[in-house]
Amino acid sequence: MQSETNKKIKKIIIVPGNFFVSRNFFSSPLIENLQQISVKEKITIYIAGVESNPISSKYFKSLKNYFEDNYNMIFIPLMGSHKSPISRFIWYLKNNFLHKTATYRFNEINNFITHKRYKEITKLKIKDKFLWKTDIWPKYLGFPFPKSKLILKIILRFMSTALTSRNPQIHKHLKEIKPDLLLLGDIQSPISFDYVSVAKKLNIKIAGNVRTWDHLTKNGPVVPGLDEYWVWNPIMRTELEIFHKVSKNKIFEVGSPQFDYYFFNKTNEKNLTDYFNIKNPKSEFFLDDDSKLIFFATNRSHRGIGEESIIHHICENIALGKYNQKKN
């Protein structure tokens, strides 16, 4: 029989979703804050892996030891390796076709600008070394009837069925741990559908976080039926309501777990010129008091395709004197 102390300890499982989500979350002070909360509120925190795909046992062990030794958090595998050919085929079908076609169709129905850009990039047939797989969106993903809401609805339902979401290891962990809350770090990743399918059967409360600012109009439909949806700001709240049809009472503005700490932290601010040891900024950057500056932040090669046209546009406007005109 459990002691009174153990009964009071609550359990939370956090599913980052993939490596990028983990990098965003765990490179920020969020992890230290979680550690403090776990001690103060008597909460046991479980971290479920770091990638959508199974990771090597060596990599998992090193991460497990690191989290448990430094942050007092229990690290569990995100999912098990699929051993049978059938389970591997179903996993491949879900991750590499069903999820992608659902994303394509959702973006096509809503006519998102980013989706148009991806289709244009796909037509260019640029060498693979300049692109990620997520940049390529061939037309067959929308065949037939790419704007059919009925077909999209059928695909999403199929992604949540026992056939496509069945994962013995996820079921085993959730059943044994019996968490009070399942927190999804990315409510648009395929793995989230698996966890939600099992959690609902076990009556576990589920909250999901939108991973980053542009995903609601780029990364396809969110996992339906969560108890709470966490967003950064009012804009994302509106996008979740309008495009994803989530009820207002289920949406909570919680800020950005990656960036809010840096934005609101006033005690550790440093002058950037001191931080980078720039002794004379004006001389080093050839500036004078009458200079007019345009700050242009370039992108990585696979993300900044077509940036030269932006620079050309800026140069044209400079030549035409448009940036000298003052607005009333």
Query: What pLDDT digit, counting tens, does each position of 210-267 carry?
Result: 988 889 999 999 999 999 999 999 999 999 999 999 999 999 999 887 777 667 766 5
Least confident piece of the model among 64-78, 139-153, 223-237, 297-311 = 297-311
- In angstroms, what CA-CA distances link 197 with 47, 72, 90, 100, 230? 19, 28, 16, 19, 19
Which fold, 8-79+167-262?
A: Rossmann fold (3.40.50)
What is the token pair recorded at 48?
């479920």
Q: Locate the DSSP E strands across 107-188.
A: 181-184
Q: Where in the chain is the domain with CATH 3.40.50.2000?
A: 8-79+167-262
Q: Tens of pLDDT along 97-146?
A: 999 999 999 999 999 988 988 888 788 766 555 566 677 888 999 999 99
What's the CA gap between 194 and 41, in Å, rounded? 29
- The pTM score is 0.80
What's the CA gap between 247 and 241, in Å, rounded? 6
Evaluate if residue 6 carries a pLDDT over 50: no
